[in-house]
Amino acid sequence: MSKKTKEPAMHIKRTAGDWVFDTAIVILFVLFTIICVFPFYYLLINTISDNDLVTSGKINFFPMLKDAAGNGVFGVQINNYIALQNVQDLGSSVIVTVARTVIGTALMVITSAWAGYLVTKQKMWKRSFWYRFLVITMYFNAGLVPWYMNMLMMGLTDNFLAYVIPGMVAPYNIILVKTYIESIPVSLEESAVIDGASTLTVWRKIIVPLSIPILATISIFGAVGNWNSFQDSLLLMNNRPDLYTLQHRLYIYLNSSSNLGAMMSQGGTISEQAAASMLNQRVIQYTVSMVSIIPILLVYPFMQRYFVKGIMLGAVKG
């Protein structure tokens, strides 16, 4: 983010035209920011309001509950989130998604750190050829169906490994790590080598600790990508609904015309009647959406500088 001050400009008097212009752009940005944020807020208040009011379209700007007379008053409830435990198939998809986010991201980061370090080694046999071999895959792919047939041939359909193995080699992240490592003074590495450290030791003890900023950046990108993954689940897991990712599950919920209330497993902590009135399809859709947005919103403020750093490194590379 730009921290530059406009000191030299300060002594120049702002004309009326400047004032109008400044106000106009501030209003413009406030409006656009509201457009970006309000949908999330609206989704949230829909999940914490009275469900009848939600489905009858009474919620506008604040969460509302019904009073004794059945009118909407300001209020909040979290029953929908509690009731989610009874929604069929949701639990498995959350577990699968968390597992692939953790495992997939870890494998990707380790591979990128390793490959990114090795491709900086001028001594490697045919180094530039292998580097290009990895990087060119960013710009070229065989197409959806050949890719699918390949995964089928490798036995990676209906298989959890399909979520974590193919994503291990991420060329763009390898480039980012390589660029970063090249900025680390070579002398650090050389002195360790003189002391007899092997390549693995140098990588583990020197390169990885010094590359933590870039590794954090790519792990955030990787984690968000894994959390948002939808296409591989849609294409590869046809016979294993228990391996659907959260986004795929949500996609099914969003498209199901039948009442999701009927998909609730029997029993649970709430009476059936209460379940029927509380858990209509729309509210389940909203609540599941909210659940899958919340982790991103929670990590987002802490990670934003890493995001920005990541895209900047990419831009430097061009």
Partner 1 sequence: MRGTVNTAASAEEAESLGSRVSLWVYRVVALIAGMALFFPPANPGRISEKINAAASLFTTGISRDTITNSMGRILRSQWIQDSDITLLMISCIVVMLGVIACAAGACMSLGNRKMRRTGLLLPLCGAPVMGVGLFLIHRAYQNMLTHGEEVGKLDTIKVMIPGGFWVFCVFAGLLLLTAAIAFFTTEPEKNRAARMEMDEKYKLFLMMLPVILLSFIFAYLPIWGWRYAFFDYKPGGVIGPENYVGLKWFGSLFNDPATVSDLIRVLRNTLIMSGLGIATSWLPIAFAVLLAEVRSTRFQRTVQTLTTIPNFISWVLVYAIAICIFSTDGFVNSFLTNVMHQSGANTNYLQIADHTWLKMLLWGTWKGVGWSAIVYIAGIAGIDQQLYEAARVDGANRFRCIWHITIPGLMPTYMVMLLMSIAGILSNGMEQYLVFENAMNKDVIEVLDLYVYHIGIGQNQIPLSTVVGISKSLIGVTLLFGANGISKAIRGESII
Which residues, 225 to 254, sit near partner 1 by CB under 8 A? 228-231, 235, 247-248, 250-251, 254
79, 92, 98, 114: which one contacts partner 1 (CB under 8 A)? 114
SS (H, E, C) the chain: CCCCCCHHHHCCCCCHHHHHHHHHHHHHHHHHHHHHHHHHHHHHHHHCCCHHHHHCCCCCCCCEEECCCCCEEECCCCHHHHHHHHCCCHHHHHHHHHHHHHHHHHHHHHHHHHHHHHCCCCCCCCHHHHHHHHHHHHCCCCCHHHHHHHHHHCCCCCCCHHHHCCCCCCHHHHHHHHHHHHCCCHHHHHHHHHCCCCHHHHHHHHHHHHCHHHHHHHHHHHHHHHHCCCHHHHHHCCCCHHHCCHHHHHHHHHHCCCCHHHHCCCCCCCCHHHHHHHCCHHHHHHHHHHHHHHHHHHHHHHHHHHHHHHHHHHHHHC
37, 82, 95, 262: which one contacts partner 1 (CB under 8 A)? 37
28, 95, 102, 274: which one contacts partner 1 (CB under 8 A)? 28
- Report 49-68 residues binding partner 1 (CB under 8 A): 54-60
13, 68, 125, 185: which one contacts partner 1 (CB under 8 A)? 125
CA distance 174 to 97: 24
Contact pattern for partner 1 over residues 178 through 217, marking x by CB under 8 A: ---------------------x------------------
Closest to partner 1 by CB, 82 vs 124, is 124
Closest to partner 1 by CB, 95 vs 254, is 254
Rounded to a whole number of angstroms, the minimum distance from the CB of residue 65 to partner 1 is 16
- Site stretch for partner 1 (CB under 8 A), options 48-56, 74-82, 95-103, 258-266: 48-56
16, 36, 68, 212: which one contacts partner 1 (CB under 8 A)? 36
- Report 139-168 residues binding partner 1 (CB under 8 A): 139-150, 153-155, 157, 159, 165-166, 168
The total number of residues written for the chain in this structure: 318
Name the nearest CA neighbour of 277 among 43, 80, 74: 80
By CB under 8 A, is residue 74 in contact with partner 1?
no
94, 98, 106, 169: which one contacts partner 1 (CB under 8 A)? 169
Name the nearest CA neighbour of 79 among 92, 56, 62, 63: 63
Rounded to a whole number of angstroms, the minimum distance from the CB of residue 266 to partner 1 is 27
Contact pattern for partner 1 over residues 262 through 301, marking x by CB under 8 A: --------------------x--xx--x--xx--xx--xx
By CB under 8 A, is residue 87 in contact with partner 1?
no
Which region, left, alpha or beta, applies to residue 270 given φ > 0 means left and ψ of -120 to 50 means alpha?
A: beta
Rounded to a whole number of angstroms, the minimum distance from the CB of residue 231 to partner 1 is 6
19, 20, 33, 242: which one contacts partner 1 (CB under 8 A)? 33
Closest to partner 1 by CB, 25 vs 102, is 25
Closest to partner 1 by CB, 56 vs 269, is 56
